[in-house]
Amino acid sequence: MTPTSDRLLLLNIGSPSRLLSMSPDGSDIQTLVADLGVAPDGIAVDPLRRHIFWTYMGSKRDGEDFFTNDGSIQRVDFDGSNHTTIVPEGGTFTPKQMQCDAEHGLIYWCDREGMRVMRARVDGSQITTLVQTGVSEEDRHDRRRHCVGVAVDTKNGFLYWTQKGKPDGDEGRILRAALDFPEGADPANRPDIEVLFDSLPEPIDLEWEEETGYLYWTDRGAPPAGNTLNRAAIRRGQPMTREIILTGLHEGIGLAIDRRNRRAYVSDLGGFLRRVNLEHPDDGKIIFSGHGPLTGIAYLGA
């Protein structure tokens, strides 16, 4: 069945991994793609071309580490048909969370063990490295260089991303640079990179909300600051203060925002999908659980 508006799309990494669609209350669960392989991670939606994208971290791993260059990006139509690989195996090292700028026909993603923030056209062409945080094998084993979550502010021209650090290590950072690549700049040595937040437990996924000027992120690190949903107002001339609006996650990963109804959805590796009111943050309501770990989620709004 083709998902219409007001649907949640999520990656369920059980056995086998699946691409699911459901109503915002967790009902009407549909399987769009029945077997995604071992390690799907990030998901994004193009409502204009009616495409769903997801990242595949690769098939060779050492625990949670993926040190083989065999990642890819996949795509299907809204009804789950026309499954195709748009960024071939090895075109990206370990792709993680992603975003789609449908208006400009672009996808963005973080490449963890590739130590990069990347971009391509929605057909997979014109693959570009925007940020490179390391180049050597020694660098690759330094989790402080691992890029995971990405967000895009097209109105103000900013790219945001997370570098998570080692698990529960309080080494995580959120950084920002211009969307327009500085003329003559090197992705490994950009002069315009800003560190917005440092010493975070383990930041993962990001969402930018243009209407309110809030940056939201999940953190899978150790409590009390980790396993949380966070936000900060990013406004010119004002201090940036981190606000924790949801706690108690079981290794929080995916984040999606329903802007019209002022709600956020958060997934975690414990297999819980929660909904939280952004106007009056509460303890969050569990709307889906018990089907295995969850990674990326996306919201298809009206």
Chain position carrying tokens 């998570």 = 164
* Residue 302's pLDDT band (cuts 50, 70, 90): low
Going by their DSSP bridges, the two strands 252-258 and 214-219 should be labelled as unpaired
And the tokens for 156? Answer: 């103000």
* pLDDT value, residue 97: 98
Residue pLDDT, tens place only, 2-56 = 566 789 999 999 878 999 999 999 999 999 999 898 899 999 999 999 999 999 9
pTM of the predicted structure, to 2 decimals: 0.96
Q: Among candidates 121, 161, 165, which has minimal Cα distance to 142? A: 165
The pLDDT-based confidence of 117 (bands split at 50, 70, 90) is very high
What is the per-residue pLDDT across 180-209, written as a single tens digit (0 to 9) for each? 888 888 999 999 999 999 999 999 999 999
Q: SS3 for 107?
A: strand
Domain residue spans of the chain: 44-292
- What superfamily in CATH does domain 44-292 come from? TolB, C-terminal domain (2.120.10.30)
pLDDT band at 300 (very low <50, low <70, confident <90, very high): very high
Q: What percent of the chain has pLDDT over 90?
A: 85
